[in-house]
Amino acid sequence: MSAGKPWYITTAIDYANGPPHMGHAFEKIGADAMARYRRQCGDAVHFVMGMDEHGVKVQQAAQAMAITPQEWVDGMAEKFSSLWTRLHISHDDFIRTTQRRHARAATELVRRIRAAGDLFPGSYEGHYCVGCEAFKRDDELIRADDGSVRCPIHPNRILEWTEEKNWFFRLSAYRDRLLAHYAAHPQFVQPASRSNEVRRLVEGGLEDISLSRAGVTWGIPFPDEAGHVIYVWAEALINYVSATGFPEDSYTRLWPADMHVIGKDITRFHCVIWPAMLMSANLPLPRAVWGHGFVNFSGRKLSKSEGVKVDIGEAVDRWGPDALRYYLLRDMPWNDDGDFTWDRFDARYTADLADDLGNLANRTIAMIERYRGGTVPAGPATGLNGPITRALERYRQAMDAHLLHLGAAAAMDVAVAANGYVEERAPWSQAKDPAQAAALDETLASLAHGLAALAVMLEPFMPEKSRALAERIGLERPPSLAGLADLQLAGRPVHRGEVLFAKERDDSA
């Protein structure tokens, strides 16, 4: 990053045709953990999410409810924003494609593409999926037994043949430039499996694509062409620069983005089409795109049309928002697909959070209260230095590589080591022998330092519980990673407070 530039991270903006689901939550929680980790490392961070609010699907959803599209998207934006608040997502901006700042940026960027000579009028014929807001190639279609043509992603929709005269973008002209960029910037598409897929796609050749839609009214007017709007998928991509203040010169305070976090199903848009659009408009390219995997449910892909879903409200209510955050990022690989099951959620909560972490915090603080009057003793807090140092090294390596599930595992190794340290040192026996007073001080001080390390390392995953844990040992909040080494806890008051992770659910609410 250039001096003074924040680390700019974005997620895909969510389409406003329906309420949030588990897939939305997984992406935002993961991106939030990445942002929080960078803040822990001392970086300034600018974290942007938002809503994709134009297109045929939105217009149809509003018509079905007999309200205007704007009323519909306002309601959807509130639903999404409320969930992000509940899940403790720490975004700095929430951009909506119905905002004036976005329309201005999208219009200017398309005009720059036109000025580069990369737009031309043409006709498009093909099967169009409203669910995907995209024309489908023949190899992307399902021929049903009843003779209908369907989309594999939305198999409940019968696709109709559509013919339109649109404005096309010369994507085919950018094949070699894209391949050269991938070669010069091997970290542009991550993880490596996504990079290989994208490179093979581009090597196979690119087709020019439609950048406008004719006859659609709910969208941003296509510059200098009456009766057309900017194609919704292209308009949505532009949100990443419109959130920076583009086309004002000050947009470079944030741009280029340091990380786009997206689902693996839209890598073509973000790793091929989007960089080509930016090349055409003569704008810098984002530094990296991370394509995460899917959350499946009991071995089946989450699908509204197939009735496979996890109710996000039920999942949050089960053990609380931080427990859900931890389970998703601990059990769902951030670089691959993961499988959600209620049994696994319960088991992970009980073993990791209630038994390992919660029990460690409760008995450590209880012993400090009982044996040292509720104040962290001044003995050397070095008993867990080895396990903490090793865990921190693995934690940093994992988090720097964006392997969040491995970062969470490294953090919990500290809890396992600390519980073993309790059994090894037997502080209840040390407390009975006045000759072991110094040894008891060392034991309790070391355990308090272990709790501090856990509060720091788990903060990206469980921000509120980590703050509560820090408060138990006399801190206002978890320190930074750099501040952990010099942290002094001696003399700080401790308190048990409420149980951090109750073993029984309160289903009365």
pLDDT > 90 fraction of the chain, expressed in percent and rounded: 84
Q: What is the pLDDT of residue 331?
A: 96
Domain co-membership, 176 together with 87: yes
Q: What is the pLDDT of residue 487?
A: 94
Q: What is the mean pLDDT of residues 447-457?
A: 98
Would the pLDDT of 359 be above 90? yes
Domain presence at residue 447: yes
Q: Note whether 310 and 297 are within 8 A (CB).
A: yes
Domain presence at residue 45: yes
Domain of residue 356, residue span: 342-484
Domain co-membership, 287 together with 374: no
| Lowest-pLDDT choice from 258-272, 277-291, 495-509 | 495-509
Q: Which residues contact 196 (CB under 8 A, 6 or more apart)?
A: none
Domain co-membership, 364 together with 275: no
Domain co-membership, 12 together with 160: yes
Taking only the tens place, the pLDDT of each residue in 329-355 is: 999 999 999 999 999 999 999 999 999
Taking only the tens place, the pLDDT of each residue in 205-262 is: 999 999 999 988 999 999 999 999 999 999 999 999 999 999 999 999 999 999 999 9
Would the pLDDT of 307 be above 70? no
Q: What is the pLDDT of residue 149?
A: 80
Q: What is the mean pLDDT of residues 399-413?
A: 98
Q: Note whether 261 and 290 are within 8 A (CB).
A: yes
Exactly one of 5, 41, 88, 154 is catalytic; name it.
154
Which of 258, 292, 326 terminates a domain? The answer is 292
Would the pLDDT of 141 be above 90? no
Number of domains in the chain: 2
Identify whether 132 is a catalytic site residue: yes
**Strand pairing partners for 340?**
297
Exactly one of 54, 102, 127, 129 is catalytic; name it.
129
Domain co-membership, 368 together with 470: yes
Residue ranges in 165-283 assigned as alpha helix (H) = 175-184, 192-203, 232-237, 239-242, 267-268, 274-281
Domain co-membership, 280 together with 419: no
Query: Distance (Å, rounded) from C-alpha 255 to C-alpha 7?
Result: 9
Taking only the tens place, the pLDDT of each residue in 360-380 is: 999 999 999 999 999 999 989
Would the pLDDT of 48 be above 80? yes
Domain presence at residue 112: yes
Identify whether 264 is a catalytic site residue: no
Domain presence at residue 110: yes
Say which DSSP state 273 is in.
I
Q: What is the pLDDT of residue 305?
A: 53
Q: Note whether 90 and 32 are within 8 A (CB).
A: yes
Average model confidence (pLDDT) across the chain: 93
Say which DSSP state 139 is in.
G
Would the pLDDT of 69 be above 90? yes
Q: What is the pLDDT of residue 308?
A: 62
Identify whether 304 is a catalytic site residue: yes
Exactly one of 24, 57, 127, 465 is catalytic; name it.
24
Identify whether 24 is a catalytic site residue: yes
Q: What is the pLDDT of residue 136?
A: 72
Domain co-membership, 39 together with 136: yes
Domain presence at residue 33: yes
Identify whether 270 is a catalytic site residue: no
Exactly one of 304, 309, 432, 503 is catalytic; name it.
304
Look at the block and give the residue holding tokens 């197939």. Answer: 306
Exactly one of 28, 132, 181, 270 is catalytic; name it.
132
Domain presence at residue 462: yes
Exactly one of 301, 309, 495, 503 is catalytic; name it.
301
In angstroms and rounded to an integer, the radius of gyration of the C-alpha atoms of the chain is 26
Element (H, E) at 393: helix 385-400
Per-residue 3-state assignment (H helix, E strand, C coil) for 277-318: HHHHHCCCCCCCEEEECCEEECCEECECCCCECCCHHHHHHH
Q: At 454, which CATH number?
A: 1.10.730.10
Nearest 5 degrees, angle CA 99-CA 104-CA 107? 125
Identify whether 151 is a catalytic site residue: yes
Q: Note whether 92 and 48 are within 8 A (CB).
A: yes
Identify whether 79 is a catalytic site residue: no
Domain co-membership, 12 together with 154: yes
Q: What is the pLDDT of residue 103?
A: 98
Residue 224 backbone dihedrals phi, psi, to 5 degrees: 65, 30
Q: What is the mean pLDDT of residues 387-415?
A: 98
Domain co-membership, 259 together with 372: no
Domain co-membership, 269 together with 408: no
Query: Distance (Å, rounded) from C-alpha 399 to C-alpha 393?
Result: 10
Domain presence at residue 320: no
Which of 292, 308, 330 terminates a domain? The answer is 292
Domain presence at residue 298: no
Q: At 64, which CATH number?
A: 3.40.50.620
Identify whether 301 is a catalytic site residue: yes
Domain co-membership, 349 together with 239: no
| Pairwise pLDDT comparison (318 vs 505), residue with the higher score | 318
**Strand pairing partners for 236?**
none
Q: Which amino acid is at 58?
A: V
Domain co-membership, 384 together with 258: no
Q: What is the pLDDT of residue 1?
A: 47
Exactly one of 28, 46, 151, 228 is catalytic; name it.
151
| Pairwise pLDDT comparison (509 vs 17), residue with the higher score | 17
